[in-house]
Amino acid sequence: MNAPKPASPPVLQLEQVVRHRAGRPAVRDVSLSLEAGQVLGLLGVNGAGKSTTLALIAGALRPDSGAIRLQGQDFLEHPERAGRAIGWLPEGAPLWPELTVREHLDAHGRLRGLNGTDLDRARDATLERLELKDLGDRLAGVLSQGQRQRLGLACALLHRPALLVLDEPANALDPVQVVALRGLLRELAANGTAVILSTHQLTEVTAVCDRVAILHEGTLRYDAPLRADGHAALEKTFFDIAMAGRAQAA
Amino acid sequence: MTLLAVTRLELRRLFVRPLGWIIAALALAELGWRFALLLQIFLLNQIRLAALPDGPGYTDLVAVRMLSSFMTGSPLPFGLIELALLLVPLLTMTTLASERNAGTLPLLFASGLSAARILLGKYLAVLIWLALWLVLALAIPVYLAHGATLDWGKLAAATLGTFLTLALLGAIGVACSAFASHPAVAAVAALMVGLALYCINLGAQLAGVNSGFLNWLAMSTHQENLLRGLVSSADIVWFLLAIAVALALGTQRLAAERERG
């Protein structure tokens, strides 16, 4: 008789993560997990702790307490392995203005351990996939905001990460590019990539996510699969949480 | 090795920015001027000097004096070391402070690299750039080596002293850039720290004191021995220690930034 196959650990697991910024708690006891192929939408009002949570997941910040596990392994004990398994697009897509689009991809690839023909192949495929081929030799400093966003996304995708962390990925994209982005995220999820994205657009969440989490004042107030009645139910839940917080503050 | 990826990225940034080239070109033009003046003085005094037993030659009066003006004793343009005190902070100010300003520093953190590797990668790039600068500066006096008698040993010691000085100024600059929130602040801080370390013993020397802690602490004390052709392991260790302290402080600041955000 065949033994049952052991279930593989979730791609991402946050356990009671706490992080203070500027003397106040920005993330409080956040626990969540994400399986391969899942797309999780992270919602919250401004200052809810979305960007801090994503920066913690991406490894740009360290948690004050709690654990972050990536594919079952402690993130802090294996930072370089974690760096190779995660692709991160920070808010505003920061770039080196003096480097070209191609040089950006090369630099990101090398930082994530790609070299030689692997890097060449990954760079060319990503330029093609994100429709940046014609901009390959253009300096990042002269790109439009939408082009910058696409380049940031390309840098995050280049090394085929198991987990994609996107902070406001649809910012500055035109409607055609937004639709293309949705298609890309669905395709990545279908191929097993776990995606976590933050946005202020509820429509973005209902269009691409299969799970939604709502942060408010640094705590996770809601984490559930997206319901069949989609947008209206999500809007009600979101506003209930946001307005309850305001009423408490008042 | 991802440390080299940081070095490569930083070198690329240094090479494509006009600032590095402008600094290098202006410095080489100034050094060329200094060389012409030193050569002129040497030629004017050549016959008198030839009559002296063990009198100074081309190496002492031209080649080594290209590197530092502390022995010149006349109002000539700056030597390479004095120029470096002013210009290296301009070269290093962007290494980390501009990354912080542009929001790209978290991208380096997210690649999984430790603060030490990020800082060392940046420092290695600055070191390569400064070594190229030194080679170009040395090419001016060495070019005339076929027509003059060069004391290669003395020149090698002086070159080592100059390289260690550049390496220390680079380390101070990178460390200041790790602390500063703006590149201009990093440049001013590196300039002040470099100047202070260079001539902290000035008061003691004016008072006729040539030993003690302040003299040991001063960069010029250790550099002068090497420029005179005296290679001492104590001086080399002092430079390596000072470089290590600067890099350790910079690393600590960078690691704290990742911890505290």
Residue B76 has pLDDT above 80, yes or no: no
Let me know how many helices (H) and strands (E) chain B has, helices first.
Answer: 15, 0
CA–CA gap between residue A80 and residue A13 (Å, rounded): 18
CA–CA gap between residue A179 and residue A164 (Å, rounded): 18
- The model's confidence at residue A243, banded by pLDDT at 50, 70 and 90, is confident
User: What are the tens digits of pLDDT across the range B151-160?
Assistant: 888 889 999 9
Which chain A residues contact residue B13 at CB under 8 A?
A: 96, 98-99
CA–CA gap between residue A141 and residue A133 (Å, rounded): 17
Lowest mean pLDDT among A13-17, B72-76, B163-167: B72-76
Lowest mean pLDDT among A17-26, B63-72, B238-247: B63-72
Element (H, E) at A26: strand A24-34
pLDDT at B1: 62
pLDDT at B71: 53
Residue A142 contacts B, CB cutoff 8 Å: no
Task: Give the pair of three-digit tokens for residue B135.
Answer: 């080679």
Lowest mean pLDDT among A6-10, A123-127, B85-89, B106-110: A6-10
Q: Which of A58, A92, A107 sits opposite B103 (nearest CB)?
A: A92
Residue B16 contacts A, CB cutoff 8 Å: yes
Domain residue ranges of chain B, discontinuous segments joined by +: 2-260
B111:A112 CB<8 A: yes
pLDDT at A1: 45
Residue A218 has pLDDT above 80, yes or no: yes
Domain residue ranges of chain A, discontinuous segments joined by +: 12-96+162-249
Residue B43 has pLDDT above 90, yes or no: no
Which chain B residues contact residue A110 at CB under 8 A?
A: 2, 4-5, 8-9
Q: Are residues A60 and A83 in contact, defined by beta-carbon separation less than 8 angstroms?
A: no
Q: State ipTM.
A: 0.89
CA–CA gap between residue A183 and residue A187 (Å, rounded): 6
pLDDT at A149: 94
Residue A24 has pLDDT above 50, yes or no: yes
The fraction of chain B above a pLDDT of 70, given in percent, is 96
For the segment A208-216, the average pLDDT, to the nearest whole number, is 93
CA–CA gap between residue B174 and residue B176 (Å, rounded): 5
User: What are the tens digits of pLDDT across the range A84-94?
Assistant: 899 999 999 99
Task: Give the pair of three-digit tokens for residue A170.
Answer: 């649809």
B110:A94 CB<8 A: no
CA–CA gap between residue B183 and residue B8 (Å, rounded): 21
DSSP-assigned letters across all residues of A204-246:
HHHHH-SEEEEEETTEEEEEEEPPTTHHHHHHHHHHHHHHHHH
B113:A107 CB<8 A: no
Q: Are residues A28 and A17 in contact, defined by beta-carbon separation less than 8 angstroms?
A: no
Q: Are residues B162 and B81 in contact, defined by beta-carbon separation less than 8 angstroms?
A: yes
Strand-pair partners of B81 = none
Task: Give the pair of three-digit tokens for residue B188.
Answer: 């001013």
Residue B15 contacts A, CB cutoff 8 Å: no
Q: Residue A61: closest CA among chain B residues belongs to which residue?
A: B258
Residue A221 has pLDDT above 90, yes or no: yes
pLDDT at A226: 84
| Burial group, residue B116, by CB count within 10 angstroms (0-12, 13-18, 19+) | middle
pLDDT at A15: 94
pLDDT at A6: 54
pLDDT at B211: 74
Task: Give the pair of three-digit tokens for residue B115.
Answer: 């603060």
For the segment A100-104, the average pLDDT, to the nearest whole number, is 96
How far does B180 lie from chain A, in Å, by closest CA?
18
pLDDT at B261: 67
Average pLDDT of chain A, as a whole number: 90
Size of chain B, expressed as the number of residues it contains: 261
Residue B256 vs residues A90, B107, B182, B249: alpha-carbon distances, Å: 20, 16, 18, 11
Residue B6 — φ and ψ, nearest 5°? -70, -40
Residue B54 has pLDDT above 70, yes or no: yes
pLDDT at A2: 52
Q: Confirm or reject CATH 3.50.50.60 for domain A12-96+162-249, answering yes or no.
A: no
Lowest mean pLDDT among A11-20, A234-243, B199-208, B211-220: B199-208
pLDDT at B229: 87
CA–CA gap between residue A10 and residue A57 (Å, rounded): 14
- The model's confidence at residue B53, banded by pLDDT at 50, 70 and 90, is confident
CA–CA gap between residue B127 and residue B130 (Å, rounded): 5
Which chain B residues contact residue A83 at CB under 8 A?
A: 110-113
pLDDT at A246: 66
Residue A69 has pLDDT above 90, yes or no: yes
- Non-local (6+) Cβ contacts of A169 within 8 A are A89, A149, A153, A181, A197, A199
* 3-class DSSP state of A48: coil
Q: Are residues A55 and A92 in contact, defined by beta-carbon separation less than 8 angstroms?
A: no
Which chain A residues contact residue B17 at CB under 8 A?
A: 98
Which chain A residues contact residue B259 at CB under 8 A?
A: 62
CA–CA gap between residue A92 and residue B88 (Å, rounded): 32
Residue B3 contacts A, CB cutoff 8 Å: no
CB atoms within 10 A of CB A159: 23
How many CA atoms lie less than 13 Å away from A180 in the CB half-sphere?
11
Taking only Cα atoms into account, the Rg of chain A, rounded to an integer number of angstroms, comes to 18
User: Which residue would you say has higher pLDDT here, B21 or B68?
Assistant: B21
The fraction of chain A above a pLDDT of 90, given in percent, is 68
Q: Sign of torsion, CA A9 A15 A19 A25?
A: positive
CA–CA gap between residue B31 and residue B137 (Å, rounded): 7
DSSP state of A70: E
- Non-local (6+) Cβ contacts of B206 within 8 A are none
